[in-house]
Amino acid sequence: MMKKIMLIALSVLMVCILTGCGGQKEAAVDSTADVALKELVARHITKAGAMIEMPETDLEDYIGIEPSMYKEAVYLQEGTLDGDEVLVIRAVDSKAADSVVSCMENYLAQRLKETQNYLPEAYKVLKATGVQRKHNTVALIVMEKATDVTTALLAGE
Amino acid sequence: MKDMVKSAYRQFLAGVEEKMKRLLALLMCMFLFIGHAGAERLPDDQLITYYDQAVFVGDSISELFRFYVNGVVRKEHPDYFTGVKFYAAHGYKLATAAAPRPSHTETNISYKGNAVSVRGLMERTQPGKVFILLGLGDRIGDNIEKGMEYVEAIVSTVAEVSPDTKVHFFSLTPIDANVEKKAPNRQSKWDAYNVALEAKCKELGVYYIEIAAPLKDEKGLLAQSLATEDGYHLNNDGNAIWVQMLLEFAQGQYDAGLWAPAGKE
């Protein structure tokens, strides 16, 4: 009888370990909520330090992302006609994040229109990227393998 | 008696002579002062304030200038080009800028994420000054007459919706030898366009800023040391010359008594 009980207990324990009871899987990705956005971008995009930090006013003037929509913003340009771009916003709330997504999608559409006839290589890179969001953090990264970079950057958000 | 009169007369003449001398000296000082004020070379950090809060409208050439201002100029001089906005897009055309509404087919500039025409931009921004560099995307050298119609339309539009805005047109920037090889005589067409543009600006009472000449080599083409690989656009050295020309233009405005930086009005 005791042996049966022990066997059952061991089986339950093994099932728990195998299925990761207690949220161990979620704890594998460290939260980046307390990491400054600039620092977060620098961790995932090695060339960020060499890119041009565009004025925050450009976010509203050209893209329509108003200061009231976000807590933090990073806007970088490589500075060439077909250069990489990094646009990451931590919105103040979910509704603001919706607006930021919309603005970024408009911006991407504009860039696609600009480059389609003039810069075919840049057009290809733009076509392969897209706006991604995790909770209230929204990102548009234009570079080779942008989707992978963006996914990794947003993982802890 | 005669001697007394003569002496009094001599004294009178001496007095007049003295007064004339003083008057002459005073006039000379005045002329020197006025002349000196006009010839005074202002420091760059004062000249650059001519462009504060201005709006630049253009195509990819202006887009690269925007990157140059943010990436190079403002790193060394954070207060240069204060409040300046660059509304530029790759392939933006003079024809599109002259149209009353944004185009459904061509590239537009964006204001706060929305496509706008120059009319719409001026209505919303009401800048003190607007600077326009457009025409390459249209190959406007092939149809100078049409180009002048577009320039007139833009000037007229700005006068209507933002009457206090001072309009400035830049000359088209040159192309390099490689582009000229593929498209012979293009530079001579650009040159002819610039001559027409300058005359048109004078006729319309707006400003023309020559930036092409200092960018050219001995063959009259964009110097390769100032060009990007494609031969159309300016690299950082070329953009540095553009900034120099802006400073020279501001100095010219000051010399002509048309503008003065704060503290020198």
Q: What is the DSSP string of A27-51?
A: HTSPP-TTS-HHHHHHHH-GGGGGS
Which residue has better confidence, B136 or A24? B136
Report if residue A1 sits inside a domain: no
* Per-residue confidence (pLDDT) for residue B22, from 0 to 100: 65
* Per-residue confidence (pLDDT) for residue A6, from 0 to 100: 84
The stretch B121-138 carries a mean pLDDT of: 96
Q: What whole-number percentage of chain B has pLDDT above 70? A: 88
Q: Do A80 and B64 touch (CB under 8 A)?
A: yes
Q: Do B67 and A52 touch (CB under 8 A)?
A: yes
Q: Do A110 and B115 touch (CB under 8 A)?
A: yes
Q: What is the pTM of this model?
A: 0.85
Map tokens 């000196």 to a residue: B36
Give B146's pLDDT tier (boundaries 50, 70, 90).
Answer: very high
Give B10's pLDDT tier (boundaries 50, 70, 90).
Answer: confident
Is B259 an interface residue toward A (CB < 8 Å)? Answer: no
* Chain B positions in Cβ-Cβ contact with residue A107 (cut-off 8 Å): 110, 113
Q: Do A64 and B114 touch (CB under 8 A)?
A: yes
Domain B41-255 has CATH 3.40.50.1110: yes
Report if residue A12 sits inside a domain: no
Which residue has better confidence, B174 or A23? B174
3-state SS assignment for residue A136 = coil
**B252: Cα within 13 Å, side-chain hemisphere:** 10
DSSP state of A140: E
Measured in whole angstroms, the distance separating CA B190 from the mean position of its chain's CA atoms is 18
pLDDT higher than 70, residue B113: yes
At residue B101's C-alpha, the angle toward residues B163 and B204, to 5°, is: 35
**A69: Cα within 13 Å, side-chain hemisphere:** 24
Tell which of A54, A59, A61, A76 to mutate to test the B interface (max B CBs under 10 Å).
Answer: A61
Is B112 an interface residue toward A (CB < 8 Å)? Answer: yes
Tell which of A57, A62, A102 to mutate to test the B interface (max B CBs under 10 Å).
Answer: A62
ipTM: 0.82
Report if residue A117 sits inside a domain: yes
At residue B135's C-alpha, the angle toward residues A119 and B143, to 5°, is: 120
**Structural domain boundaries in chain B:** 1-40, 41-255
pLDDT higher than 50, residue A75: yes
Listed in sequence order, the residues at least 6 apart from B122 whose beta carbon sits closer than 8 Å to its beta carbon are B130, B157, B158, B161, B162, B165
Q: Do A114 and B64 touch (CB under 8 A)?
A: no
pLDDT higher than 90, residue B264: no
Report if residue A115 sits inside a domain: yes
Task: Report the DSSP pairing between strands B55-58 and A137-142.
Answer: unpaired
User: What is the rounded CA–CA span in Å between residue B200 and residue A56?
Assistant: 37
Tokens for A92? 């103040």
Structural domain total, chain A = 1
Give B25's pLDDT tier (boundaries 50, 70, 90).
Answer: low
Q: At what angle do helices A37-44 and A146-154 cross, to 10 degrees?
A: 140
Residue B239's identity, in one-letter code, is N
Listed in sequence order, the residues at least 6 apart from B240 whose beta carbon sits closer than 8 Å to its beta carbon are B68, B72
Q: What is the pLDDT of residues B27-76, one digit of tens each?
A: 555 554 444 444 699 999 999 999 999 999 999 999 999 999 999 999 99
User: What is the rounded CA–CA span in Å between residue B124 and residue B121?
Assistant: 5
Chain A's closest residue to B92, CA to CA, is: A114
Burial class (CB in 10 A: 0-12, 13-18, 19+), A98: middle
3-state SS assignment for residue B101 = coil
User: What is the rounded CA–CA span in Å between residue A91 and residue A95?
Assistant: 9
Q: Where are the alpha helices (DSSP H) in chain A?
A: 2-19, 24-27, 37-44, 57-58, 94-118, 120-127, 146-154
Which of B64, B85, B110 has its CB closest to that of A110?
Answer: B110
pLDDT higher than 70, residue A50: yes
3-state SS assignment for residue B102 = coil
Q: Are B136 and B96 in contact (CB under 8 A)?
A: no
